[in-house]
Amino acid sequence: MKTVLEVRDLTVTYPARRGAAPARAVDGVNLQVRQGEIVALVGESGCGKSTLARALVGLVRPTGGQVVGDGEPLGYSAAALKAYRRHTQLVLQDPGGALNPRQSVFDAVAEGPRLHGLTDRLGERVHTALAKAGLRPPEQFAGRFPHEMSGGQQQRVVIAGALALEPKVIVADEPVASLDASVRGEILKLILELRDSLGLSALVVSHDLGLAWNIADRVAVMYLGRIVETGTVEEVLLRPRHPYTRALLSVLPDSGEPPVLLTGEPPDPTSVPGGCRFHPRCPLRAAEPDPRCDGLDLPVLTGDPSASALAACHLVQ
Amino acid sequence: MSSLAAAGPAKAKGQGAARSGFLPYLAGKLGAALVSFLVTLVIGFVIFSLMPADPVRTLTRGRPTSEAQLTQIRLQLGLDDPIWRRFLTFVGDTLRGELGYSWQFQQSVSSLVADRLWPTLLLMGSAAALSIALGLWLGIRSGWRHGSLFDRIASGASITLWSVPTFWLGMILLVAFSVGVGPIPSLLPAGGMSDPSLPQEGWAHIVDVAKHLVLPCLTMVLVVFAQYVTVMRSSIIDEMGSPYLLTARAKGLTDDAVRRRHAVPNALLPSVTMIFMHLGILVSGAITVEAVYSWPGLGYLTYEALRIPDLPLLQGTFIVFSASVIIMNLLADVVYRFLDPRVRAQ
């Protein structure tokens, strides 16, 4: 399978506020998304997954490393970025906020194509995108405004706006987190359908492991700016190896294991611990301390999807 | 918009539905405006009837008047009629556009107001246009880059000027540019609207009026534009957190285009409210500025009426000012409906 989106050794460091250390939001990440593949990026709040998503669509300029779309490293000139927008599109969490309240559905979906000069048979393009996103018949929705639609319909408009540019990859940042439970399934199903019918790839950012299980082919677990475990969805969610992944899974209601509650400070990207960055909260290390945990830095996981499951941990390798 | 044509029948239908709701909406707002105006009339009548100043004494001040003459004047003014009849006469006259007879000028209030309206509109209109344009421009720029040097200078300067008393700033400008201080020669006329020694028509007159306009207009702009800077700046900062700006960027819009097409139109709504409030108090002029520069407008007229006090004139200007606020509010409601699709849905 062809790789359509890749990051190599990506770092994003936010400059320091007065008196504080700079925040290493993304601190060395390798990740690949292949054609027709859905990759879930999971992790708790503040682990850097949203920053990584924004870097993937070129909205955040990385401090180090590369974003590679379609085999070519992304440049950050206005023209290069604009060209890249047709390749990778973004879907945000809150569809109500992601749509301009003054724009009709038609204008919202047509904005991308107009900007990229795809005005030839614009109406047809917009209607096709709306229909692909499940708003049928499209004529009925084109004249509406965001406040006249439900959350699920709004999210479909956002997705249609992305599809109108015929991208190869969609980066979705918590695409269903703010939707009703009944609507979530529909939107996830839509993403799966788009994958099957258009060969679209997706990187779905979520804090919800159940969501990853439902739609993803591969899962990457992120902790404090690094990917700590990656593999197919079965490998990572059924046979987790990294103690962080295991702790996350153990607190799911139907995990069948005693819940592991993480102790210690919540992770802070302005002071990343040395050695393994999970060591201050690691239940494995608490049980059997090892000098490597706080003394020896771990290598960055390669992110090669053909390799079997990888976990960044001294104790389980 | 070009999208109207491309959107096809669905869009036209959607807008048609919105428009069919417009007439009831307008009727409701008109009714509310009418009620407000009637309430204003009641208030105007009550206040000026309860004024402790005795109209007859005010009229005859400084002149020897016999008791018989006083009674005669009371009768002429209708002061002995029962209060309900005086109220009905007042409402009827007002609705016919007769605002009473000024004691001071011995002239109908309506004609006085009509004479003074044009100078006030000229001064306040030009000041409003300039302060709105300047304030919104500065507000958008400083909000979009808040914390920058530009923002700190613009915000600081506007807040400072806002806190300056209008009459004081007027005096300072008057002294500096009209009287002339040190190396600054006397550049501009000190007061009034035109030089009576010059012809009152043609180009020379226009240039003359423009020269007289500079200082009062500048004073107004300097004091007023800060409101627009602060409101526009904070609305822009509010909008900047909106995810739809991120969506627009992800589609490939440049920073400038995101600001122009998405952030500013949405952030404008609070400023539109303020613009209409500002336009509403426009005709009342700025009493202080017009008084400082003896600008022959409605504000100066009010000032002259207050000195006597010339009750019919005050009452007349009170009604004109209130009506203008009510009309502008009505216009704001209508314009809002076109600007914000969410208002249409209500």
> Does B137 map to a domain?
yes
Asked if A254 and A270 touch (Cβ cutoff 8 Å), the reply is: no
Verify that A7 and A77 share a domain, yes or no: yes
Residues of A in contact with B256 (CB under 8 A): none
Of A59, A85, A139, the CB nearest to B8: A139
Instruction: Determine the distance in angstroms separating the CA of B9 from the nearest CA of chain A, rounded to an integer.
Output: 8
What is the total count of domains within chain B? 1
- Peptide linkage before A253 cis (omega within 30 of 0): no
> Using the beta-carbon criterion (under 8 Å), do A165 and B251 form an inter-chain contact?
yes
DSSP assignment, residue A265?
A: P
Average pLDDT over residues A239-259: 87
- Closest to B24 in 3D by CA, of B273, B342, B344: B344
**A42, containing H or E segment:** strand A38-42
Query: B29 lies in a domain?
Result: no
A177 and A228 inside one domain: yes
pLDDT tens-digit readout, A168-220 = 999 999 999 888 888 999 999 999 999 999 999 999 999 889 889 999 999 99
Q: Are A38 and A214 in contact (CB under 8 A)?
A: no
Q: What CATH number did the domain enclosing A173 receive?
A: 3.40.50.300
Same domain, yes or no: A150 and A7: no
A226-232 and A218-223: which strand pairing? antiparallel
Average pLDDT value over all residues in chain A: 90
Q: Which of A81-95, A98-112, A264-278, B114-128 has the lowest mean pLDDT?
A: A264-278
Note whether B243 contacts A: Cβ–Cβ < 8 A: yes
Estimate to the nearest angstrom the gap between the alpha carbon of A89 and the chain centroid.
Answer: 12
Residue that terminates a domain, selected from A166, A181, A206: A166
Average pLDDT over residues A38-64: 92
Give B28's contacts (C-beta < 8 A, 6+ positions apart).
Answer: none
Distances from the Cα of A83 to the Cαs of A10, A86, A159, B255, in angstroms?
A: 21, 6, 19, 16
- Band (pLDDT 50/70/90 cuts) for residue B17 is very low
Is B326 inside any structural domain? yes
In-domain check, residue A210: yes
> Distances from the Cα of A251 to the Cαs of A178, A288, B111, in angstroms?
22, 22, 83
Same domain, A11 and A42: yes
- Assess whether pLDDT exceeds 90 at residue A31: yes
By percentage, how much of chain A surpasses pLDDT 70? 100
Question: Both A131 and A144 in a single domain?
Answer: yes
Q: What pLDDT is recorded for position B151?
A: 95
* Mean pLDDT lowest among A167-171, A303-307, B247-251: A303-307
Please determine, for residue B128, whether its predicted confidence score (pLDDT) is greater than 70: yes
Question: Can you give the pLDDT at residue A46?
Answer: 84
- Say whether A59 and B6 touch across the interface (CB within 8 A): no
Closest CA to B244 of B258, B234, B232: B258
Would you tell me the crossing angle of helices B202-240 and B149-163 to the nearest 10 degrees?
Answer: 120
How would you list the strands of the sheet with A38-42, edge to edge? A88-91, A169-173, A201-206, A38-42, A218-223, A226-232, A310-311
Percentage of the residues of chain B whose pLDDT score is greater than 90:
32
- Evaluate whether residue A296 is within a structural domain: no
Please tell me the predicted confidence (pLDDT) of residue B32: 93
* Same-domain pairing of A246 and A201: yes
User: With contacts defined as CB-CB under 8 Å, which chain A residues touch B3?
Assistant: 104, 106-107, 110
More confident residue, B5 or B108: B108
Element (H, E) at A220: strand A218-223
| Nearest chain A Cα distance for residue B263, angstroms | 9
| Domain carrying residue B249 | 109-345
Strand partners for A11: A27, A64
Q: Where are the alpha helices (DSSP H) in chain B?
A: 2-7, 9-20, 22-50, 55-59, 67-77, 83-95, 109-144, 149-163, 166-173, 202-240, 243-251, 255-257, 264-280, 287-292, 298-307, 311-339, 341-345
Contact A143 B7 (CB under 8 A): yes
B254 touches chain A (CB under 8 A): yes
Residue A296 has pLDDT above 80, yes or no: yes
Chain A residues touching chain B at CB-CB below 8 Å: 57, 59, 78, 81-82, 85-86, 89-90, 92-94, 97-102, 104, 106-107, 110-112, 115-116, 122-123, 126, 139-145, 147-148, 158, 161, 165
Binary contact (A101, B341; C-beta < 8 A): yes
Q: What is the DSSP letter of A222?
A: E
The rounded distance, in Å, linking the Cα atoms of B115 and A142 is: 53
Query: CA-CA distance, B194 to B174, in Å (whole number)?
Result: 16
Residue of B nearest to A126 (CA): B7
Q: Which of A285, A273, A209, A272 is nearest to A240 (CA)?
A: A209
A81 and A184 inside one domain: yes
Q: What is the pLDDT at residue B236?
A: 94
Whether residue B336 is contained in a domain is answered as yes
C-alpha A186, offset from chain centre: 19
Task: Give a yes or no: residue B170 inside a domain.
Answer: yes
Containing A30, the helix (H) or strand (E) segment is strand A23-34
Quick one: A241 and A187 in the same domain? yes
Distance from the Cα of residue B60 to its chain's centroid: 35
DSSP string, A161-180: HHHTT--SEEEEESTTTTS-
User: Same domain, yes or no, for A192 and A160?
Assistant: no
User: pLDDT tens digit string along B65-107?
Assistant: 788 888 887 777 777 778 888 888 888 888 888 888 888 888 8
In a domain, B295, yes or no: yes
What confidence tier does B2 reach under pLDDT thresholds 50, 70, 90? very low
A143/B244 Cβ within 8 A: no
The phi-psi region of residue A93 (left if phi > 0; otherwise alpha if psi is between -120 and 50; otherwise beta) is alpha
Q: Are residues A227 and A159 in the same domain?
A: no
Q: What is the mean pLDDT of chain B?
A: 84
pLDDT at B10 over 70: no
Contacts of A126 in chain B (CB under 8 A): 6
Question: Does A59 share its domain with A141?
Answer: no
Final residue belonging to a domain, choices A166, A191, A219: A166
**Residue B129 identity (one-letter amino acid):** A
- Please tell me the distance from the alpha carbon of residue A9 to that of residue A52, in angstroms, as a whole number: 12
A269 within some domain:
no
Q: Which of A270, A287, A288, A266 is nearest to A278 (CA)?
A: A266
In a domain, B219, yes or no: yes
Residue A159 lies in a domain: yes
Among A66, A100, A98, CA closest to A84: A66
Which two three-digit tokens encode residue A213? 């299980």
Report yes or no on B261 lying in a domain. Answer: yes
Tell whether A233 is covered by a domain: yes
Structurally, how many domains does chain A consist of? 2
**How large is the ipTM?**
0.85
CA within 13 Å, CB half, A290: 16
The SS3 assignment for A66 reads strand
Tell me the shortest Cα–Cα distance from A158 to chain B, in angstroms: 8
Q: How confident is the model at residue A107 (pLDDT cuts 50, 70, 90)?
A: very high
Q: A49 lies in which domain range?
A: 3-87+168-259+301-311
Whole-number percent of chain A with pLDDT over 90: 59
Per residue in B170-211, pLDDT (tens digit) is 888 888 888 777 777 777 777 778 877 777 778 888 888 888
Distance from the Cα of A172 to chain B's closest Cα (Å) equals 11
pLDDT of res. A146: 92
Distances (CA, A) of B238 to A92, B114, B235: 19, 43, 5
Question: Are the Cβ atoms of A143 and B11 closer than 8 angstroms?
Answer: yes
Cβ atoms of A26 and A51 within 8 Å: the answer is yes
CB-based contact A115 B8, cutoff 8 Å: no
Arithmetic mean of pLDDT, A268-284? 88
Distance from C-alpha of B114 to C-alpha of B287, rounded to nearest angstrom: 17
Number of Cβ within 10 Å of residue B263's Cβ equals: 24
- The reply to whether residue A147 touches residue B242, judged by beta carbons under 8 angstroms, is no
Residue A306, CB-side half-sphere exposure with 13 Å CA sphere: 3
The alpha carbon of residue B38 is apart from the nearest alpha carbon of chain A, in Å, by: 36
Contact assignment for B340 to A99 by CB distance below 8 Å:
no
Comparing B58 with A145, the larger pLDDT belongs to A145
- Answer whether residue B235 shows pLDDT above 90: yes
Q: Is the pLDDT of residue B13 over 60?
A: no
Q: Does A176 share its domain with A27?
A: yes
Determine the pLDDT at residue A8.
92
In order of B126, B188, B192, the CA distances from B210 in angstroms are 11, 10, 11
Give the closest of A90, A97, A143 to B14, CB-based: A143
Give helix B311-339 / helix B22-50 axis angle, nearest 10°. 160
Contacts of A111 in chain B (CB under 8 A): 248, 251, 253
pLDDT at A218: 94
Look at residue A104 in the predicted model and tell me its pLDDT.
Answer: 93
Last residue of a domain, one of A166, A195, A217: A166
Smallest Cα distance from B280 to chain A, Å: 26
Q: Residue A190 has what DSSP assignment?
A: H
Provide the CATH number for the domain around residue B275: 1.10.3720.10
Taking residues B296-303, report their average pLDDT. Answer: 90
